[in-house]
Each structure stands twice: as structure tokens, then as C-alpha cells.
Amino acid sequence: MQNQGNCYKNVWILSGTSDGPVIANSLLELNYSVFASVLTYKAGQAYIENPKLHIITGKLNNKDEVINFINKNKIKCVVDATHPFAEIISKNLNNACKEINIPLLLFERKSLIKNTNNFFYIDDLKDINKIDMENKNILLAIGSRFLNDTANYYINCKANVFTRVLPTYESITKAFGSCIKNSNIAILEPSKNNKSILEKKLCDFWDIDYVLCRESGSYSQKNWESIVSGSKMKLFLVKRPKFKNDYSYSFDQYHNLINHIIKNIDV
């Protein structure tokens, strides 16, 4: 890592593999030093190597760890481009930046509510009507954190529960440690080419009636929308939290975020 005393244009990005690399590349081209936090080594591989790019792998557990990281690395600006449902880290970022008066910028894709006959927006993972669940095949594409609890709920509703999880150690461990039958678990990286071929074949093979996912705005959500649209299946989207913090500017376009950093961040 380069001498941190000379890194006077340090921006810290916390993101997944979609938005983070795009934002980082734009800043690197403008000669900013970028610190990018990711949860796994694999996620870090989505970033292009650059001497001014520093990849940090692992979780930050509380507000104090956030403050320590900012102070240690002389961070001038923090970009929260985490998953819309990653409320814990967003809360810690909000409270930390507010306490030490560091600019916090929130990047989040637009929430596009679509009105179709087979798309339904719900407030919670367990909000699908119990009466409609008996003997239905439901595919959970909700990540691994709440997988077992959600699966158990719908199994008790007499549904047949299936899931697609990411090929990470944590996701696979939680999936096979859940109440879902092993034969009903698929390990699959979401398609990024808009064709969604594997996901569609999975739904056909399992004869899926319902798909449950979260309204993240990601390519994964768009895949499910594409697959379900025009089919006999129903897509249930858990609406994203309305507010992630009270100490930030919010952006949904890359260029607006970058321009704000250029014009307003004191370096």
C-alpha cells in the first residue's frame, strides 16, 4: 500500500460487485485513491488492479471500527453503495460519519415499481398469503441470512420450498444447514447477460409457481422479472427499506455521484 500520508484524495467505497467497480474506476481515472470494502476475496476480483486501489476484505462490525478505518486511512469521503437491505452496515456508516463529520454519499439504484398481473410487492419475507401456499412450489432467491427462517415459515404453510443460493462458502453452508431438502437447493451465480437461461431452466425443472426475491434493483432482480413476465408464475418482491440513514446525499446515477465528489469534497 502506498504511503497513506500522501493519499490526500482518499475515497472509501462499500459495495457489491456491480456498482463498486464502476464507481471505483471513475474515481481512479480522476487520480483519487480508492479504498474498496468487499465481503469476500471473490468479490474483490471484480475490481481492476490499480496502484491507487486498495481492496479490503471482511466485515466491519460496529461504528467504532468504521471510525478507526476512516481515521487510519485519512478518508475524505465515504460512498455507501451496499445492498439496499444491508441495514446494519449502513446504520454504522451513518452514525460514524455523522460523529466525525465525514461526508457520506449514498448510491442506490432507482426503485422501479412495475405494475403487472404477476408481480406483487410485499413488505416482509413472510407476507405471501398462507391460503395461497398449500402444495405450491416456491423458489426463494433471498440470500442466505434469513433463508432457514423463511423456508421454515413456508414449509409450515404446506408449500414445497426450493432455493437458489450464491456459490460462496457462507451461502452454501447456510443452505445445506437449513430445513430445505438438499435436492431442492441450487448453487448458481446470477446471470449477467440478460438471458437468464439457467434460472429459467431451473424454474421449469422444478415447476415453480412462485418466486420470492428482494427489490434490490440488481441484475438478479431483473433476471427474475424477465423470467416471470409472460409466464404463469408469480413474482413476489420484498420492498426495500425506505430510509437507510439521515446523514447523506443520495444518488442513483454514477455521473451525479462522481460530479458531487469532484465539486464538494475538500481534498
User: Domain extents for the chain?
Assistant: 4-109+242-264, 119-238
Q: What is the pLDDT of residue 266?
A: 57
Q: What is the pLDDT of residue 219?
A: 66
- On whether the 119-238 domain is CATH 3.40.50.620, my answer is no
More confident residue, 146 or 44: 146
More confident residue, 18 or 143: 143
pLDDT tens track for 159-216: 999 999 988 888 999 999 999 999 999 998 877 665 668 889 999 999 999 999 988 7
Tell me which range, 2-11, 99-108, 224-233, is most confidently predicted by mean pLDDT: 99-108
| Band of pLDDT at residue 3, cut at 50, 70 and 90 | very low
Mean pLDDT across the chain: 87
The yes-or-no verdict on residue 142 having pLDDT over 50 is yes
Q: What is the pLDDT of residue 68?
A: 95
Least confident of 29-38, 104-113, 146-155, 184-193: 104-113
Mean local confidence (pLDDT), 30-56: 88
pLDDT tens track for 60-69: 889 999 999 9
C-alpha 266/C-alpha 9 separation (Å) is 9
* Residue the block writes with cell 481512479: 28
The yes-or-no verdict on residue 4 having pLDDT over 50 is no
CATH assignment of 4-109+242-264, given 3.60.110.10, 3.40.50.300, 3.40.50.720, 3.30.300.30?
Answer: 3.40.50.720
Fold match between domain 4-109+242-264 and domain 119-238 = yes
Least confident of 65-79, 175-189, 217-231: 217-231
| Band of pLDDT at residue 244, cut at 50, 70 and 90 | low
The yes-or-no verdict on residue 1 having pLDDT over 70 is no
pLDDT tens track for 106-140: 988 776 656 678 888 899 999 998 888 999 999 99
For residue 261, the one-letter residue type is I
Instruction: Flag whether the pTM goes above 0.85.
Output: no
Lookup: cell for 176: 445445506
Mean local confidence (pLDDT), 70-99: 90
C-alpha 98/C-alpha 106 separation (Å) is 13
